[in-house]
């Protein structure tokens, strides 16, 4: 019994240190930060993001770094607004996963995969980079329609069949060499992989 107690006392500082986020828990504000201080998994995500952020933006221009700092402040505000969600822990965890994935891709922290090109309808093409090694699998989707070009980062979400990626005003389903693209306010398009990729 004494050995168990002694072992617990010896290792409890290590367990506490492992659950310490990058910010001071004594100054935690709101339900989200309080939860991060109590949850070892969320604290680990916070530390992962804290270590990744400076590496990811190191190669950015001063203007890009300034913009990214503003995005980070907005992200922190959004994470802290998770108190409004039905499941606080799930919201905070997902918020970290998405931000880490975004920084891994934007900051060149992952190997750039070979793109897969799709033809959607008559005039729209997609050049899609599937980042399966990211914190959360994601797709960087480059849409080209005539002279219009758009880039959207979409995150993999649960799907009954194939893979489903959701980004801002866009959903892409893929299965084999086929895909389906939904965009807000636009008709759904069936897509086929362009041979030769």
CA-to-CA separations, 14 to 11, 17, 88, 164, in angstroms, rounded: 5, 5, 26, 40
pLDDT, position 96: 98
H or E segment and range at residue 140: strand 138-145
- The confidence score (pLDDT) of residue 195 equals 87
pTM here? 0.84
- Reduced to 3 states, what is the DSSP secondary structure of residue 10? helix
Render pLDDT for 69-115 as a digit per residue (tens, 0 to 9): 999 999 999 999 999 999 999 999 999 999 999 999 999 999 999 99
Residue 169: left if φ>0, alpha if ψ -120 to 50, beta else—which one? Answer: left
Q: Distances in Å between the alpha carbon of 192 and those of 118, 121, 155, 162, 189?
A: 5, 9, 20, 14, 10
Q: Taking Cα atoms as reference points, which of 133, 135, 177, 172 lies closest to residue 150? A: 172
- Its sign, for the CA torsion 171, 163, 142, 65, is positive
Do the strands 170-175 and 138-145 form a parallel or antiparallel pair, or are they unpaired? unpaired
- b/e map 30-40, b = 16+ CB within 10 Å: ebbbebbbebe
pLDDT of residue 160: 86
Model pLDDT, residue 19: 67
Q: Contact 46/36 with Cβ under 8 angstroms?
A: yes
CA atoms within 13 A on the CB side of 126: 31
What is the reported pLDDT for 166? 97
Radius of gyration of the chain measured on its C-alpha atoms: 21
How buried is 96 (Cβ within 10 angstroms: 0-12 exposed, 13-18 middle, 19+ buried)? buried
Residues of the chain under the 50 pLDDT cut? 1-17
């Amino acid at each position: 019994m004494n050995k168990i107690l002694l072992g617990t006392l010896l290792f409890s500082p290590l367990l506490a240190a492992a659950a310490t986020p990058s910010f001071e828990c004594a100054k935690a504000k709101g339900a989200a930060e309080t939860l991060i201080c109590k949850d070892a998994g969320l604290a680990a995500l916070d530390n992962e993001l804290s270590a990744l952020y400076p590496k990811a933006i190191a190669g950015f221009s001063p203007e890009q770094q300034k913009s990214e700092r503003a995005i980070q402040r907005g992200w922190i505000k959004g994470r802290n607004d998770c108190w409004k969600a039905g499941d606080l822990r799930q919201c905070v965890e997902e918020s970290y996963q998405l931000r880490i994935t975004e920084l891994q891709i934007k900051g060149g922290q992952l190997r750039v995969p070979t793109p897969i090109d799709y033809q959607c309808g008559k005039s729209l093409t997609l050049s899609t980079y599937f980042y399966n090694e990211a914190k959360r699998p994601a797709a960087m989707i480059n849409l080209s329609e005539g002279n219009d070009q758009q880039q959207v980062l979409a995150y993999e979400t649960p799907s009954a069949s194939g893979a489903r990626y959701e980004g801002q005003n866009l959903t892409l389903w893929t299965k084999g060499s086929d895909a389906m693209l939904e965009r807000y306010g636009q008709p759904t398009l069936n897509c086929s992989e362009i041979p030769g990729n």
